[in-house]
């Protein structure tokens, strides 16, 4: 066997690592992909699934409020998404008098539907390749900074050209794929009059809380219902009492037939980001410079928040959404580190990089990829410690201490023209105070200062922290106590008057909270700037590595990393072995609610009337073959953040569930996907309908949807 043939065999043997993963661009699916899906159970034709000229299934999928996905289920703009995707809206409308988080929300009439400020829904109209236009005449022998400047200019030109062809209700955006080796222009219709229609109690929508988050088995009814409104011409419009429910191009039918082990399943949604082509050096940096500091900082902050939330319903309402958001990525980071180690991802990446190096060495006449791996190694290794310090600062102050985050927003608004500041203050600053508890933030500030001092070398600490430490002799609680007695940031009226008048802004600049913010900001920016050369190396190396991989294996269909654009993933429903000698079934039922139910634990306590409904077992058409009701199920679909609320379809394109989580074994999935153990967790649509129908008694919703 000659050397080239031997090397080819090595490459082919390694391909299964990639072959079953995929967040696929619909317009790039190959005949081989379609044949595989059809062999697994898909009966829809490609045109019924995706056709940018005729109504098809993708027209029903929405990008929900920038960070989630939803599915249109009626000809009156009704949207199903996750409870945790609507959680911010539910929380924003809750109070001690109307605790929609605790009690749920039901709009029995259209007039009762609640408008949600600043919420948007986007429908994708078209996605068009503009790679040739963007990359045309880009020289190869220029720096990455020069390359990006040229490409940014071309992107602006392409977006401007396409905007001429669309009215201002459309969003036109050029997105990069394959680390800048391909580009598409994505055109969306954006709607901003969104109203809350239905939400189950958090005892259902968040059943299991943080204990069950990222875990299987699950028993969570993670859904909420919203409606898109348009003007009388069915066009996007700001909120108005005269607006009417939107008439969509297409809406998804709903199946209550259920599924079996091995049933075909597919998801369409807007996954946020993945790093499947991350190098071995990048994995080491992710673990040590990003995940480990995040785990530590958020753990400290969340313990302070949780203690206060358990002692006060008012604080619980204020901090429920903040806590959920913080904890989600805290636990994700823990699971990712464990998963990367368990799956030996570092070693697999190193093996692939060796194969790449051997391939490059066999092409002495092609200098394109000679320095690729060195660019990645040098750039990442050199910036690791600096990035770790940056993570500590950002997690402790931007994501940790709320008053410092407020100072950051005030600083941003002050940089705007005076005539815009009042509007920005009313839109961005005033809402902050509704869900803010100064006495709680005071404790967090002291804890964050101590944590940063303990983990950042003294010579790299922000100067203001050094000064505080010296003045208060390490007693950060005393500093926090004095800051919260004097700070202008605790008085919105006073803060507003100072912010709107440049002559008085010096009083804000002398505030201890603002001084601390500016010092941390300056240190963070200096650290960030010091790694710019490293970041340029990493970008160039990553772009060349992905380009080279596709050249190295020209017949292999590599999926592009997720970038918040529409993707499809397909697979099968099925259980899995979580560890040696164990097996997890592919669905859960109401029996699990009874097993986990705990009146003393708010994460597992369910209202009496809901428990009564479960115990009666009068599930009717929502029952499974055994007469019970399925709550959640799993499949080997490739999802990530942003897929929350994504519709799970059967082979006929009917809605069977809503994706809401991954299992503990999937936490490393953003970097490496393993379909045997990494699972997509979905709430069964029959559970959703049962809650709307039997608990909510909301017949008008049931009359809208198309159940098959």
Q: Of 282, 279, 335, 159, which is closest to residue 549 (Cα–Cα)?
A: 279
Q: How far apart are the first and last CA of the chain?
A: 58
**Residue 501: what pLDDT?**
87
**Residue 111: what pLDDT?**
97
Within its chain, how far is the Cα of 545 from the centroid? Answer: 26
**Residue 160: what pLDDT?**
95
Is the pLDDT reported for residue 524 higher than 70? yes
Taking the CA of residue 111 as centre, how many other CA atoms within 13 Å lie in the half-sphere pointing to its CB? Answer: 0
- What is the average per-residue pLDDT within 426-434? 92
Report the alpha-carbon distance of residue 31 to residue 304 in Å, rounded.
54
Please, which residues have CB within 8 angstroms of residue 321's CB and are 6 or more apart in sequence? 87, 88, 91, 435
- What is the average per-residue pLDDT within 498-505? 90
Report the alpha-carbon distance of residue 433 to residue 490 in Å, rounded.
9
Crossing angle of helices 512-530/476-486, nearest 10°? 120
- The torsion of the CA quartet 21, 27, 28, 29, rounded to 10 degrees, works out to 60
Tokens of 212: 């069950």
**Residue 527: what pLDDT?**
97
Is the pLDDT reported for residue 188 higher than 90? yes
In tens, the pLDDT along 121-135 reads 999 999 999 999 999
- What is the average per-residue pLDDT within 680-707? 98
Name the helix (H) or strand (E) containing 383: helix 372-393
**Residue 259: what pLDDT?**
97
**Residue 39: what pLDDT?**
96
**Helix, strand, or coil (residue 226):** strand
- Do 656 and 684 touch, CB atoms closer than 8 A? yes
Of the chain, the percentage scoring pLDDT greater than 90 comes to 88
- Catalytic residue list: 84, 222, 644
**Residue 2: what pLDDT?**
37
Domain ranges in the chain? 20-120+192-275+564-704, 280-538
For residue 71, list its beta bridge partners: 61, 80
More confident residue, 141 or 640: 640
Instruction: Write the DSSP assignment of 404-444 as a string of letters.
Output: HHHHHHHHHHHTS-HHHHHHHIIIIIHHHHHT--HHHHHHH
**Residue 3: what pLDDT?**
33
Residue in the structure block whose two tokens are 């993933």 = 569
Of the chain, the percentage scoring pLDDT greater than 70 comes to 97
Crossing angle of helices 512-530/532-552, nearest 10°? 50
pLDDT band at 630 (very low <50, low <70, confident <90, very high): very high
Q: Could you tell me which CATH number the domain at 20-120+192-275+564-704 has? A: 2.40.10.120
**Residue 698: what pLDDT?**
98
Within its chain, how far is the Cα of 310 from the centroid? Answer: 27
Is the pLDDT reported for residue 337 higher than 80? yes
CA distances from 274 to 364, 565, 638 (A): 33, 12, 11
In tens, the pLDDT along 142-186 reads 989 999 999 999 999 999 999 998 878 899 999 999 999 999 999
- Do 191 and 121 touch, CB atoms closer than 8 A? yes
**Residue 169: what pLDDT?**
82
In tens, the pLDDT along 568-580 reads 999 999 999 988 8
Q: Is the bond preceding residue 653 a cis peptide, omega within 30 degrees?
A: no
**Residue 684: what pLDDT?**
98
**Residue 207: what pLDDT?**
97
Report the alpha-carbon distance of residue 449 to residue 475 in Å, rounded.
10
- What is the average per-residue pLDDT within 622-631? 96
Residue in the structure block whose two tokens are 């340029």 = 536
Within its chain, how far is the Cα of 307 from the centroid? Answer: 27
Instruction: State the chain's mean pLDDT as an integer.
Output: 94
Instruction: Write the DSSP assignment of 438-485 as a string of letters.
Output: HHHHHHHHHHHHHHHHHHS-GGGS-HHHHHHHHHTTT-HHHHHHHHHH
**Residue 285: what pLDDT?**
97
DSSP 8-state code for residue 11? H
Report the alpha-carbon distance of residue 377 to residue 236 in Å, rounded.
48
Q: Is 70 left (phi over 0), alpha (psi -120 to 50) or beta?
A: beta
Report the alpha-carbon distance of residue 349 to residue 695 in Å, rounded.
50
Report the alpha-carbon distance of residue 249 to residue 228 in Å, rounded.
13
Report the alpha-carbon distance of residue 189 to residue 486 in Å, rounded.
47
- Do 212 and 681 touch, CB atoms closer than 8 A? no
pLDDT band at 22 (very low <50, low <70, confident <90, very high): confident
Query: Cα-atom radius of gyration of the chain, to the nearest Å?
Result: 26
Tokens of 586: 């592919």
Q: Of 151, 272, 176, 280, which is closest to residue 541 (Cα–Cα)?
A: 280
Is the pLDDT reported for residue 9 higher than 90? no
- What is the average per-residue pLDDT within 390-410? 96
**Residue 667: what pLDDT?**
87
């Amino acid at each position: 066997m000659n050397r080239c043939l031997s090397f080819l065999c090595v490459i082919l043997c390694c391909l299964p690592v990639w072959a079953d993963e995929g967040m696929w661009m619909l317009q790039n699916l190959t005949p081989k992909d379609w044949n595989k899906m059809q062999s697994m159970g898909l009966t829809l034709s490609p045109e019924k699934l995706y056709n940018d000229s005729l109504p098809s299934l993708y027209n029903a999928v929405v990008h929900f409020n920038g960070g989630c996905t939803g599915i249109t289920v009626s000809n009156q703009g009704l949207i199903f998404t996750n409870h945790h995707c609507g959680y911010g809206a539910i929380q924003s409308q809750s109070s001690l008098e109307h605790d929609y988080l605790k009690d749920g929300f039901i709009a029995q009439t259209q007039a009762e539907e609640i408008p949600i400020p600043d919420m948007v829904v986007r429908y994708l109209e078209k996605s068009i390749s503009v790679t040739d236009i963007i990359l045309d005449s880009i020289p190869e022998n220029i720096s990455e900074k020069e390359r990006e400047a040229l490409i940014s200019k071309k992107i602006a030109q392409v977006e401007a050209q396409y905007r001429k062809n669309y009215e201002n209700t459309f969003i036109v955006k050029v997105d990069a794929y394959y680390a800048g080796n391909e580009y598409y222009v994505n055109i969306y219709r954006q709607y901003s009059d969104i109203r809350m229609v239905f939400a189950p109690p958090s005892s259902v929508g968040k059943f299991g809380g943080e204990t069950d988050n990222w875990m299987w088995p699950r028993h969570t009814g993670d859904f909420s219902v919203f409606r898109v409104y348009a003007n009388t011409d069915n066009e996007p419009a700001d909120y108005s009492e005269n607006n009417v429910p939107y008439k969509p191009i297409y809406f998804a039918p709903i199946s209550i037939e259920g599924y079996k082990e091995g049933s075909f399943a597919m998801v369409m949604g807007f996954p946020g980001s993945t790093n499947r082509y991350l190098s071995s050096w990048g994995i080491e940096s992710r673990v040590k410079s990003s995940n480990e500091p995040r785990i530590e900082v958020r753990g400290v902050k969340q313990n302070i928040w949780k203690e206060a939330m358990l002692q006060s319903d008012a604080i619980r309402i204020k901090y429920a959404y903040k806590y959920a958001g913080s904890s989600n990525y805290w636990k994700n980071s823990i699971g990712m580190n464990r998963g990367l180690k368990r799956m030996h991802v570092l070693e697999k990446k190193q093996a692939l990089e060796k194969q790449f190096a051997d391939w490059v060495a066999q092409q002495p006449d092609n200098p394109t990829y000679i320095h690729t791996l060195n660019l990645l190694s040098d750039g990442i290794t050199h910036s690791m410690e600096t990035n770790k310090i940056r993570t500590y600062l950002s997690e402790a102050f931007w994501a940790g201490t709320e008053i410092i985050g407020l100072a950051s927003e005030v600083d941003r608004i002050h940089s705007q023209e005076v005539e815009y500041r009042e509007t920005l203050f009313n839109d961005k600053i005033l809402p902050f105070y509704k869900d803010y508890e100064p006495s709680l933030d005071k404790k967090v500030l002291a804890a964050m200062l101590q944590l940063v001092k303990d983990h950042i070398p003294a010579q790299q600490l922000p100067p203001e922290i050094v000064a505080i430490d010296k003045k208060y002799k390490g007693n950060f609680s005393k500093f926090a106590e004095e800051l919260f007695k004097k700070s202008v940031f605790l008085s919105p009226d006073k803060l507003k008057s100072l912010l709107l008048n440049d002559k008085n802004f010096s009083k804000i600049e002398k505030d201890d909270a603002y001084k601390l913010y500016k010092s941390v900001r300056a240190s963070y920016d200096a650290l960030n700037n010091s790694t710019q050369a490293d970041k340029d190396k990493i970008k160039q190396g990553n772009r060349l590595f992905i380009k080279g991989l596709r050249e190295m294996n020209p017949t292999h269909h590599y999926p592009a990393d997720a970038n918040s654009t529409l993707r499809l993933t397909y697979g099968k429903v099925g259980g899995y072995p979580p560890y040696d000698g164990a097996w997890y079934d592919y669905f859960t039922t109401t029996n699990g609610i009874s097993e986990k139910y705990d009146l003393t634990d708010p994460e597992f306590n369910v209202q009496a009337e809901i428990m009564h409904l479960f115990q009666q077992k009068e599930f009717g058409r929502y029952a499974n073959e055994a007469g019970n009701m399925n709550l959640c199920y799993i499949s080997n679909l490739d999802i990530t953040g942003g897929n929350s609320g994504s519709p799970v379809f059967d082979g006929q394109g009917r809605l069977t569930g809503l994706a809401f989580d991954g299992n503990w074994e999937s936490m490393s999935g953003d970097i490496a996907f393993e379909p045997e153990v990494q699972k997509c967790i979905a709430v069964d649509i029959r559970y959703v309908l049962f809650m709307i129908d039997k608990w909510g008694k909301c017949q008008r919703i049931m009359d809208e949807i198309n159940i098959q």
